[in-house]
């Protein structure tokens, strides 16, 4: 099988590897489509502090189960699935309070363990979510990006009366806009600039900047602001699949380019350099 491997920062190769075999409790997915995320670019460029090299990147991927390990129902072979890259232990304190995305033993496909930029990938069976027949392949591969929006919005439970500010209009910002408007019916969504006066606001931080920042406590307590953070997703795949089923979100508005996986370097360069014309870039594997 062919796999896209980051050998070390700024060194990408397409390797021929032995076909993966699913372990007990795992499924093997014949990958059809995968999406490029900013974190894939960060791993490629050596800016992701969590990545281990060499690494098959890719945590947004969709395909068909073609093999199962022990203790997995063979009836799952042939299922169309989107894969949740968040692998958690299920037993630690964060897992016990519904936060598997910050599990003390967290493993993320494509970061800590080989991911989906490959003709075949393996994952725990519980992480492979069946996609209904009425959802198109190119929508199914977009489930993971929208789970980030589901996690963000789930932190603050928006209402129609809220005024929502999205500071940053990249793919994650735009998925959040769709969730706010399509799912929560928020009437006023502002993108790009800041609102100086907004008492009782809820603020959600997303992203991994290591730059220090200064916060004046009086500005927070004086307005009784609530500050949340959001990482990855906490079991949001069924939520987003339901949104797609109900037509509440439209991935077509975000997908701008598609490349054959053999042209992955061109795809990543476009993703990095042309953010005016480029939003979500997909890679095709199996037809």
Residues 284 and 234: their CA atoms lie apart, in Å, by 27
Per-residue pLDDT of the chain (287 residues; tens, 9 = 90+): 999 999 999 999 999 999 999 999 999 999 999 999 999 999 999 999 889 999 999 999 999 999 999 999 999 999 999 999 999 999 999 999 999 999 999 999 999 999 999 999 999 999 999 999 999 999 999 999 999 999 999 999 999 999 998 988 889 999 999 999 999 999 999 886 455 566 777 777 776 666 777 777 777 777 777 777 788 888 899 999 999 999 999 999 999 999 999 999 999 999 999 878 899 999 999 87
Q: The whole model's pTM is what?
A: 0.88
**What is the Cα–Cα distance from 112 to 120, expressed in whole angstroms?**
17
Structure tokens at 203: 């603020």
Q: Is 115 left (phi over 0), alpha (psi -120 to 50) or beta?
A: beta
Query: What is the C-alpha to C-alpha distance for residues 146 and 165, in angstroms, rounded to an integer?
Result: 18
Domains of the chain plus CATH, in order, are 2-142+254-284 (3.90.180.10), 149-230 (3.40.50.720)
């Amino acid at each position: 099988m062919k796999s896209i491997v980051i050998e070390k920062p700024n060194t990408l190769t397409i390797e021929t590897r032995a076909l993966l075999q699913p372990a007990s409790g795992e499924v093997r997915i014949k990958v059809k489509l995968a999406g490029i995320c900013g974190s894939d670019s960060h791993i490629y460029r050596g800016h992701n502090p969590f990545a281990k090299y060499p690494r098959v990147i890719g945590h947004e991927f969709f395909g068909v189960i073609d093999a199962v390990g022990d203790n997995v129902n063979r009836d799952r072979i042939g299922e169309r699935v989107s894969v949740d890259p968040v692998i958690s232990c299920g037993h630690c304190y964060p897992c016990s309070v519904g936060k598997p995305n910050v599990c003390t033993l967290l493993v993320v496909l494509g970061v800590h363990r080989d991911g989906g930029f490959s003709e075949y990938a393996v994952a725990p069976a519980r992480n492979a979510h069946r996609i209904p027949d009425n959802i198109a392949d190119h929508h199914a591969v977009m489930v993971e990006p929208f789970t980030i929006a589901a996690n963000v919005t789930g932190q603050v439970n928006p209402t129609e009366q809220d005024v929502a500010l999205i500071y940053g209009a990249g793919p994650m910002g735009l998925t959040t806009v769709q969730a706010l408007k399509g799912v929560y019916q928020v009437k006023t969504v502002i993108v790009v600039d800041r609102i100086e006066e907004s008492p009782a606001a809820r603020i959600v931080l997303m992203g991994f900047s290591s730059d220090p920042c200064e916060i004046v406590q009086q500005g927070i307590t004086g307005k009784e602001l609530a500050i949340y953070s959001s990482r990855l997703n906490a079991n949001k795949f069924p939520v987003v699949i339901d949104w797609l089923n109900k037509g509440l979100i439209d991935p077509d508005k975000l997908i701008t380019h598609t490349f054959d996986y053999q042209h992955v370097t061109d795809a990543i360069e476009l993703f990095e350099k042309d953010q005016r014309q480029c939003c979500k870039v997909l890679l095709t594997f199996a037809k």
